Every structure is written in C-alpha cells, then in structure tokens.
C-alpha cells in the first residue's frame, strides 16, 4: 500500500537515502530541510524515476514551520500516513568546553524538533484514524561516550518520548524508533572541537551506507497496519559501539 510520507532533514545523509528508497517503493513524499537546492534536486531525481516527491523549506526548531510543513503534506496529498522525524545535528565536544550554544542547538533540533513533529502530526493522524511516526535516534540513545554527553542526552530523550508516544497511542498511531550506528552522512561535518573531530574520523572508518538505515525505515513503514515495529538498532558489523 502506498503511503503519504513526510521526511524532515531530507537534504542529505539518512533522510536523503530514505527519500530515495521510499520514493522508489511508490510512496508519495514531502521532503523538508533548510537547504532547498538539495531538496529540489532530490525531488526532481525521484520524480524523473517515476516517483512522487515535493519539497518545502523547513526549520524544525520552529513549531509553526513544522505545523505548516505537515499541513502542506495533508493539503497536497489529502492525508499524512508517516512522519519521519530525522533532522538532527551532532556538534560533539567535552562538557568542559562549555559550548552552550552547541548544547542549545542539539536540544533545539534533536529534541524540540521531534516534539514539534509530534505536535504537528498527531492531530492530523488522530483525525484520520491512524498514522506512523518514525523517529531517528542513535546508538547514543542507549549508551554515552566522551564528548557526546549532550548529543546522547538528546537521543535518550527521543527514545523516551517515542516510548511515551507509543504507550499513549490508543492503538491508533504506530511509533518506530530507528537507532543507527555509524553511518555515512554529513553529520560529523558539524563538529568544531578538534579532538572530537579526530576521534570521530577513526570511528567513522567502518560507517554503513545511509541506504542501510533507509532499508530499516522502509521495513517498518511496510508492515501491515496491526504491526508496530517499535525499535530497530542498526550497527556496522565491525563497530563495537
Ligand atoms: P546529515 O548531517 O547528513 O543530515 C542531517 C539532516 O538534518 C540534514 O538534512 C539537515 O538539513 C537536517 N537539519 C539539521 N538542522 C535542521 C533544522 N533546524 N531544520 C530542518 N532540518 C535540519 O546527518 P545524518 O543523515 O547522519 O542525520 C540524520 C539523523 O540520523 C540525525 O537525527 C542523526 O542524529 C541520526 N544519526 C546519524 C548517525 C550517523 O552516523 N550518521 C548515527 C546515529 C544517528 P539542512 O541542513 O538542509 O537543514
């Protein structure tokens, strides 16, 4: 069954790969992020391959913007079956570096962004009798490592929020938490701290292609309506963390 799927953070990495995979599976897509040139090129590619994709500029830190984004999906396609809350940032540094602005940015994008998605999507899904949130967390939602305290805290929060949402869904809304291990994307480009950047370089040597995470998302989306895949953790075989 083809669905209407909105994806936040679709301009690179996992969101972009998810758009390609779900577009190829025949789902109708609305893609959001701030870099609209990337979204435009990706939508064009999906449409030319026979899929259906539109895009819209989106900043997930702005609740009104996320509401407008979700409303645009419902207006364009008549409903919203799946919201993939994928947008995220990871400017790692030790706590002692006191990078308060980076802490705020991670909380704003990774936690508030997901909450804004829920606030926008839940009323639409409840009104139409069902829907599906796919929230992208991380292996950092299960364990903490040096330089990643705040990032992991945001991902622990996404995991807690997702579980709470699932428990409160009254059997109508599906909730899937997808937690990637190290994956090829632009995520580490945002690390300014030199030591954290260097450590990440070695860690990322075994990174999975983003398509591996897109496949996990597609698996959860493709399940029959009575099946809710709650959590998927995907790591490279060669990765201990
Ligand atoms: P990328 O940096 O490649 O993609 C991040 C996406 O988030 C981009 O499309 C970016 O778009 C978007 N984004 C960032 N800030 C905002 C914002 N304020 N509003 C809207 N969109 C925003 O990294 P990944 O693909 O790796 O990241 C996707 C998710 O996967 C994140 O939640 C990340 O934490 C998670 N993850 C990734 C792992 C990895 O190893 N790659 C491992 C574990 C989890 P734009 O800048 O155009 O707005």
Number of domains comprising the chain? 1
Is position 239 within any domain?
Answer: no
Q: Does residue 30 line the site of ligand 1, with CB under 6 A? A: no
Nearest CA to ligand 1 atom 39: 183
3 state DSSP class of 177: strand
Strands (E) across the chain are located at 4-8, 28-33, 52-57, 82-85, 131-136, 173-180, 231-234
Distance between CA 222 and CA 236 in Å, rounded?
A: 23
Q: Which helix (H) or strand (E) holds 50?
A: none
* pLDDT tens readout for residues 145-196: 999 999 999 999 999 999 999 999 988 899 999 999 999 999 988 999 898 8
| pLDDT(239) > 90 | no
| pLDDT(241) > 80 | no
Q: How far is the CA of 174 from the centre of ligand 1 (A)?
A: 22
* pLDDT tens readout for residues 89-129: 999 999 999 999 999 999 999 999 999 999 999 999 999 99
Q: 81 lies in which domain range?
A: 4-234
Is position 107 within any domain?
Answer: yes
CATH of residue 208's domain is 3.40.50.720
| Average pLDDT of the chain, as a whole number | 96
Is position 241 within any domain?
Answer: no
* pLDDT tens readout for residues 52-85: 999 999 999 999 999 999 999 999 999 999 999 9
Closest CA to 240 of 197, 206, 191: 206
Point out the residues that are catalytic. 151
């Amino acid at each position: 069954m083809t669905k209407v799927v909105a994806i936040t953070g679709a301009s690179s990495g996992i969101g972009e790969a998810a758009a390609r995979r779900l577009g190829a599976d025949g789902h109708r897509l609305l893609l959001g992020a701030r870099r609209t040139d990337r979204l435009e090129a990706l939508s064009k590619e999906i449409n030319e391959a026979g899929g259906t994709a539109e895009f819209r500029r989106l900043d997930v830190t702005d609740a009104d913007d996320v509401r407008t984004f979700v409303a645009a999906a419902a207006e364009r396609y008549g409903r919203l079956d799946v919201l993939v809350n994928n947008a995220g940032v990871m400017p790692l540094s030790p706590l002692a570096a006191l990078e308060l602005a980076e802490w705020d940015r991670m909380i704003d994008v990774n936690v508030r962004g997901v909450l804004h998605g829920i606030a926008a999507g839940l009323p639409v899904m409840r009104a139409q009798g069902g829907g599906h949130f796919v929230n992208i967390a991380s292996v950092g939602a299960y364990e903490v490592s040096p330089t990643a305290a705040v990032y992991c805290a945001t991902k622990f929060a996404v995991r807690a929020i997702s579980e709470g949402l699932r428990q409160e869904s009254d059997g109508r809304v599906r909730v899937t938490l997808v937690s990637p291990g190290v994956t090829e994307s632009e995520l580490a480009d945002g690390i300014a701290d030199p030591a954290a950047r260097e450590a990440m370089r070695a860690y990322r040597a075994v990174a999975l292609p983003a398509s591996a995470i897109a496949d996990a998302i597609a698996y959860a989306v493709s399940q029959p309506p009575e099946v809710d895949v709650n959590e998927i953790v995907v790591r490279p075989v060669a990765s201990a963390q």
